[in-house]
Structure 1
């Protein structure tokens, strides 16, 4: 994906930007390292000759020679359980092979240079599942290797309405023969354990011998499709320990590379035509996995002959680490061969690989009975329903629309069939961050799921619920009551070796409580709240009461020795984000327990008996929430990020004589970073968004202005939040700039690590930037409001949100907002739209008012256009309106969905 839009762009950039603009690099180095106030539009970094604009897909028109890792991520497929990177079927050339199963991992002992009580002991890393993508083609014994082959009419891409990766080209073999090659790959959304592949070969002008070798390979343990790379060549007796000297050791964003053999062979099928199975046990974690492949061959000759007429030879070879089904025939000019491959994966923490092999066989049998083409059609039907629930339309902006849909498609691929697992930071597209689950899911992905695909949100919350016992053990280990969820994990136990930027981020407890309540307010799923969610709320509330304390001076509640979202400032007292989110956590926990007392008295008494809960404890929760200390600097009239923040030296990120290398975490010792006022990502500004009802507009504006100049954007989580708040405050240009960075963070490889996998949280943030930023959608304690901020250059934005099972389409145009129920019910409301109370039904409702707010270059201070004071309704289109019978958090009761 070399950047070749306009050579003059590079000359201008070289003169005006501190970056290296060498032709042929994927992204200017300076852009990916310095996202702070950068003037380069990410859209200019896309080679539109190679990646043309099409609103429903992403395509390339030239085969990628280098770098390959980015395109392997961008074209990766997944369904939340199973993921496959876009490695070529030929096996070479590739940057990073990858077939992943959500939750399939190995463990290893964390060796601390200096040990201390309570440090995490067990590392966890996602591992590669047996790789069944290989379908190697030989013509007259010449292997197809796209990296050095001569090809014509090349194309590769994904239509987001079909979810199939398609590739086609004409190969000019070394002997000068022309062969048309077409491949397909699909990871099924409907069949969670199934992937499909096909290879079609047409001899255009000559007779030729054709060989296709279809394989399953244990790549995790070093096996290649080529015999010159033996299994276990780098084996080490210390199985499971991270490798020494890897680049991954220097970049915490990458996953650890395990050394030594990880898989113990546990099952190999007997050789049979067309089918083979491999099964393994993971050495330390004890997990098991099995993979089965089966095939359907179709041959057509110009005179109507088939495979039987041609005489196809089939042989199957199965060993511990390789299963190979080989097809050989002598083809004549005009012959077409199509080989369809059905692949099943099953994994478990409890059953044998042999049992999983039987499950794989059943999955493959069922798929073959349905048929390849029918399964592809079923995928399109599934995606049609998904887009009806999830699409965001940006009229008149085809390049933006294309990227928006790519990001939303990634959210489907990361979450749809995760089910019993969480949503990893990279989904199932790569091994970045070790395949771990973080707070990313709750804060950035869950809003999308809750308002568009609530069943997926429920599944993610149930995953956290099932983690409660491990979270209770972790809290106890750290001398606290309640539950402490792990900062990063796969199996439920803490896996963060660096406590200052890991375990100290206690805010994850409040983030999970926040996501739970967002889901419940969106769906009205009171049963889930009172059956399972309440245990999360009680456990996290107890943790905050154990971690914080009432001061003796004025009785305020403080929380010390914590780290907020900004990982460039660690282990501080009274981080604003942490305190505000803990306040919310305590508030809703107390309210929900009181709701259970009213609605389910028997369950309430049972909870009190089993958990030892009392009225006195509930009163302490409420008191802590009411007296929560929120740092405020009266002189500057802003909220300090923490008690010590304002006493630190400012790191001038705009200093032309001393511009720091970026990202800071890869170029400066943590102690150097920690002594400055400098942010990796939005912290206070994120609190302004998530708990916007607690802050007035003037305060938000002063806070935003102060932290904007200190925020490096070294984290991909930052730009989307900064865009949302910039939009709310009327900073149109900043809102668009930050939104564009978030939108293209992977497509333009802005942070230089897209090869490690898709930044799934950023994808979720893109949806929030569209719906909550430009669309102005808010939900504070179940009080829904819409206060749009339509960008000047956009004609219209349209999105769908599902509230209590009722799907509403919202369309924002110049001067008006249109709402209509499109599915799931007849009426929903009240909603506050531009300050007006609205009931939405099957007939469109149009609310007229100001839908754009432009404070760029203007003095908007003192306006209440977007006031979020406690109890107020967002009112960008009119005067503030006090909602009838409610006062913000005083009305926390959740109403059951119809």
Structure 2
């Protein structure tokens, strides 16, 4: 074929394909050629990884290396799908179809774990769970909510109710059923109101496993239950025939929707009055604090130097957990809560996962730690180009590349789409003169440009787009432009949070918060070697308590 049509024909087609990709996907950073090049490198990796996702998904390493053996994780839904939904919606739909095709295997997995509905695997290549360690893998039930969240984001961005009502609804219903089955009701003697709880789960943070009422899991499960109920109520009105077919296909019970709504409304969202923050789980704040500020760099990452049981005893995070919930479900938290939570958890977060820096960048920018936000962004954008985790040879971190786009658009661009309402609250870094990106919102291409003192919007053909900028409502008509002045780039807090800010806080049992570093007697990679035992001193030193 190449001989018949000529090689130049294929070069031309490839050039046209790439030109179209950059037109709808490029993010432009003014005055920083190095960051511009690195950003485009990340976007190109996403194009390679996601262009042929129909029924196949987006592997954690894309097509760039053998890391993770070609498996894919929940990273796709949380870190890659937003980029696809807002730039190339068809690719997002293709990736979601992979989860739809996975439903039979997910139903079997739910039955194996004694639950109703479906349970999507933590790690898979064919729909079956491939994780060998249940505590940090299968116990991450939040994956169900992550998939539904990605589905909802796609539908909001595109208005594609056809896909939702024909295929996506099965995902929404079956994931909601799992939460209704997994959770349980509890009523205390002091409070006659019942609350809904979820026990025995692991959140995104793999340094804390199998806990009760993980905040991220509960918040996302609540979203999942509400999304499923809302979808079915809309569907019954807007597409009654599709609704009837769905009821027959899934055997929807008469009172299931009401049960989901009740569970969502009563979902237990833990909060500590003593600390003024949301605990990561029911007992997280009872543990001792791992003093990361005084942890030697040669003991990082922790998982290569300490047994999991050592790590699990401490308040220490592999990656953002509560902070990720603050971003994904930010409309359910106040600005004061976000700041307090970020200031507590940021000093406890190791960043040992490449999924963490992008989320920390977004929340740091939102709450005002703008220099810190830029520092986290640089960590994420150069994670592979700079081989910051010393594993780039295994392949590109595709989820981190997707997170780079989100950090630019949602972090520094301040874009949110809670409740399907587009909003902006920019946080341009101090030495960035301009940031520009394109969004596809329900069929209309919207060009957004942010400068120090203003924002510009330019709409392509399609329909009018409603949005808000810092609470003020605007509408832009097709093929029109709009300029909005900005008074500033949001609050600015210097430095970075320290866990020592909480040195005087007492737990519910009256004990003071303290921080220490576990004494190292060995490192996991050399357990059993003669050198290990020769290096252990006769008398082990006591761990310091630098917060006292």
User: TM-score interval w.r.t. the shorter chain?
Assistant: 0.7 to 0.9
Whether contact under 8 Å (2:372, 2:495) holds in the other structure is: no
**CA 1:418/1:602 → structure 2, altered by over 3 Å: closer, same or farther?**
closer
Q: Are 2:301 and 1:666 equivalent residues in the alignment?
A: no
- Per the alignment, residue 535 of structure 1 pairs with 170
Instruction: Check the 8 A contact 1:653/1:660 in 2, yes or no.
Output: no
Aligned equivalent of 1:768, options 406, 426, 438? 406
| Equivalent residue, structure 2, for 1:840 | 476
The CA distance in 2 between the partners of 1:854 and 1:603, in whole Å, is 48
2:347 corresponds in structure 1 to 709
2:369/2:496 contact within 8 Å kept: no
| Aligned mate of 2:202, from 552, 560, 563 | 563
Find the partner of 1:739 among 347, 359, 377.
Answer: 377
The structure where strand makes up a greater share of residues is 1
- Number of aligned residue pairs: give it: 492
Q: Specify the alignment match of 1:165 in structure 2.
A: none
**Given that residues 688 and 700 in structure 1 are in contact (C-alpha distance below 8 angstroms), is that contact kept between their aligned partners in structure 2?**
yes
- How much does 1:678 deviate? 0.4
**2:105 corresponds to 1:470:** yes
Where do 4+ consecutive residues of structure 1 move more than 3 Å? Answer: 857-860
What residue is the counterpart of 2:436 in the other structure?
798
Structure 1 equivalent of residue 51 of structure 2: 416
Q: Is the 8 A contact 1:834 1:849 kept in 2?
A: no
List per-residue Cα deviations over 1:283-303 (Å, max 9, x = no partner): xxxxxxxxxxxxxxxxxxxxx
Provide closer, same or farther for how the CA distance between residues 691 and 404 of structure 1 changes in structure 2, counting only shifts above 3 A.
Answer: same
Q: Deviations over 1:324-353 (max 9, x none)?
A: xxxxxxxxxxxxxxxxxxxxxxxxxxxxxx
State the 1:633 CA deviation. Answer: 0.4
Q: Provide the residue aligned with 2:153 in structure 1.
A: 518
Match of 1:755? 393
- Cα distance between partner residues in 2 of 1:829 and 1:485: 35
Deviation string for 1:478-535 (max 9, x for gaps)?
1100000111000110100100000000100000000000000000000000000000
1:814 partnered with 2:452? yes
Q: 1:693, CA displacement in angstroms?
A: 0.3
For 2:2 and 2:112, the matched residues in 1 are separated by 48
1:639 maps to which of 250, 253, 278: 278
1:186-585 correspondence to structure 2 within 5 Å: 366-553=1-188, 554-585=193-224
Are the aligned partners of 1:732 and 1:853 in contact in 2 as well (CA < 8 Å)?
Answer: no
Residue in structure 2 matched with residue 652 of structure 1 by the alignment: 291
Aligned partner (choices 582, 586, 598) of residue 225 of structure 2: 586
Deviation string 1:682-732 (CA, Å, 9 cap, x unpaired) is: 000000000000000000000000001000000000000000011111211
| Per-residue Cα deviation, 1:394-442 (whole angstroms, up to 9, x for no partner) | 0111011010100011100100122220000000101111211100100
Q: What is the DSSP-based 3-state SS (H/G/I as helix, E as strand, rest coil) of the residue aligned with 1:797?
A: strand
1:142-175: per-residue Cα shift (whole Å, max 9, x none)? xxxxxxxxxxxxxxxxxxxxxxxxxxxxxxxxxx
Q: CA-to-partner distance for each residue in 1:44-70, whole Å, 9 max, x for gaps?
A: xxxxxxxxxxxxxxxxxxxxxxxxxxx
Q: State the alpha-carbon separation in 2 of the partners of residues 489 and 770 from structure 1.
A: 29
Q: 2:252 corresponds to which residue?
A: 613
TM, length-normalised to structure 1: 0.54
Counterparts of 2:4 and 2:372, CA distance in 1: 54
Counterparts of 1:859 and 1:848, CA distance in 2: 29
Superposed CA deviations along residues 765-817 of structure 1, whole A, max 9, x for unmatched, are 00000000000110012111111111110000000000011100000001111
- The SS at the match of 2:4 is helix
SS at match of 2:416: strand
1:646 & 1:393 partners in 2: Cα distance?
42
User: Normalising by the residue count of structure 2, what TM-score does the alignment of the two structures yield?
Assistant: 0.88
Offset at 1:746?
0.3
Alignment of 1:1-80 (within 5 A): none
Whether the 8 Å contact between 1:420 and 1:459 is mirrored in structure 2 is yes
SS at match of 1:496: coil
Aligned match for 2:314, one of 668, 676, 696: 676
Deviation at 1:369, TM superposition (A): 2.0
Distance 2:254 2:413 in 1: 42
1:697 equivalent to 2:332? Answer no
Any idea what SS the aligned residue of 1:569 has? coil
Residue of structure 2 in register with 1:25 after alignment: none
CA distance in 2, matches of 1:496, 1:513: 21
In 2: Cα distance, 1:663 partner to 1:369 partner: 54
More helix by share: 2
Q: Work out which of the two has the higher radius of gyration on C-alpha atoms and give 1 or 2.
A: 1
Specify the alignment match of 2:492 in structure 1.
Answer: 855
Mark the runs of 5 or more structure 1 residues left unpaired by the alignment.
1-365, 861-898
Q: Is the 8 A contact 1:800 1:810 kept in 2?
A: yes
Other structure's SS at 1:781 match:
helix
Return the alpha-carbon distance in structure 2 between the equivalents of residues 560 and 488 of structure 1: 21
Match of 2:241 among 575, 578, 602: 602
For residue 18 of structure 1, what is the aligned residue in structure 2?
A: none
Matched residue SS, 2:3: helix
CA distance in 2, matches of 1:668, 1:771: 37
Per-residue Cα deviation, 1:627-661 (whole angstroms, up to 9, x for no partner): 000111011110000001001110001116x5661
Shift of 1:552: 3.0
1:622/1:660 Cα in 2 relative to 1: closer, same or farther (>3 Å)?
farther
Deviations 1:163-189 (A, max 9, x none): xxxxxxxxxxxxxxxxxxxxxxxxxxx
In structure 2, stretches of 5+ residues that fail to align are 498-548
Q: CA deviation at 1:666?
A: 1.2
Distance 1:839 1:614, change over 3 A: same
Deviations 1:105-132 (A, max 9, x none): xxxxxxxxxxxxxxxxxxxxxxxxxxxx
Larger RCO (alpha carbons 8 Å, 6+ apart): 2
**Superposed displacement of residue 605, structure 1:** 2.8
Distance 2:385 2:249 in 1: 51
Residue 526 of structure 2 is matched in structure 1 by none
CA distance, structure 2, for counterparts of residue 528 and residue 433 of structure 1: 30
Deviation at 1:612, TM superposition (A): 2.5
- Partners of 1:790 and 1:851 within 8 A in 2: no
Aligned to 1:347: none
The secondary structure found in structure 2 opposite 1:499 is coil
* SS of residue matched to 2:299: coil
The match for 2:512 is none
Secondary structure at the counterpart of residue 654 of structure 1: helix
